[in-house]
Amino acid sequence: MTDQPGSQPFPSSGETLAGALNDTARSAMATLPPSLTAASAGYPVQVTFETQPRASRFWAIPLLGYTIKYLILIPHVIALSALGCIVVLLQFIAWVPVLTTGRYPDWAYSLLAGTIRWGVRIQAYAFGLTDQYPPFTLGNRADTYPVQVTIIPHPRYNRAWAVPIAGFLVKLILLIPHIFILYVFGSVVGFLQYVLWIPVLFTGTYPDWGYDMVGGYLRWSVRVTAYLYGLTDAYPPFQMAASPLQDGRTVAGSIAQREAVLAALSACDDQVFEIVRAWAPDLADDASPARQAYADGLALLGAGQDLIENARSEADLRTAEVRLKAAHQRLQTARDLFAIQATEGGTSPTG
Q: What DSSP string runs through 102-164?
A: S---HHHHHHHHHHHHHHHHHHHHHHTS--SPPPSS---TT---SEEEEEPPPSS--GGGGST
How high is the mean pLDDT of the chain?
77
Task: Give 74 or 346, the one with higher predicted confidence.
Answer: 74
pLDDT, tens only, 210-238: 988 999 999 999 999 999 999 999 899 88
* pLDDT given at position 188: 94
* pLDDT given at position 95: 86
Confidence of residue 1 (pLDDT cuts 50, 70, 90): very low
Q: Work out the average pLDDT over 127-155.
A: 83
* pLDDT given at position 344: 72
Neighbours of 343 (CB within 10 A): 10
Residue among 16, 21, 40 at smallest CA distance from 273? 40
Q: Work out the average pLDDT over 329-347.
A: 79
* pLDDT given at position 6: 34
The pLDDT of residue 26 is above 60: no
Q: Work out the average pLDDT over 76-101.
A: 90
The pLDDT of residue 272 is above 90: no
Kindly report the length of the chain.
Answer: 351
What is the percent of the chain with per-residue pLDDT over 70, rounded to a whole number? 76
Q: Is 37 helix (H, G, I), strand (E, B) or coil?
A: coil
Q: Work out the average pLDDT over 327-331.
A: 87
Task: Give 79 or 12, the one with higher predicted confidence.
Answer: 79
Q: Residue 146 contacts by C-beta under 8 Å, 6 or more apart in sequence?
A: 49, 50, 52, 130, 132
Q: Distance (Å, rounded) from C-alpha 311 to C-alpha 248?
A: 13
* pLDDT given at position 183: 95
Q: Distance (Å, rounded) from C-alpha 11 to C-alpha 30?
A: 12
Residue among 173, 235, 180, 175 at smallest CA distance from 24? 235
Confidence of residue 184 (pLDDT cuts 50, 70, 90): very high
Tell me if 117 sits within 8 A of 149, measured CB to CB.
yes
Q: Residue 252 contacts by C-beta under 8 Å, 6 or more apart in sequence?
A: 311, 312, 313, 314, 316, 317
Considering the entire predicted model, what is its pTM?
Answer: 0.61
Q: Is 49 helix (H, G, I), strand (E, B) or coil?
A: strand
pLDDT, tens only, 89-139: 888 888 898 888 888 888 888 899 999 999 999 999 999 999 999 999 887
The pLDDT of residue 243 is above 90: no
The pLDDT of residue 4 is above 90: no
The pLDDT of residue 64 is above 70: yes
For the ranges 37-46, 118-127, 139-148, 169-178, the lowest mean pLDDT is seen at 37-46
Q: Work out the average pLDDT over 327-348.
A: 79
Tell me if 313 sits within 8 A of 252, measured CB to CB.
yes
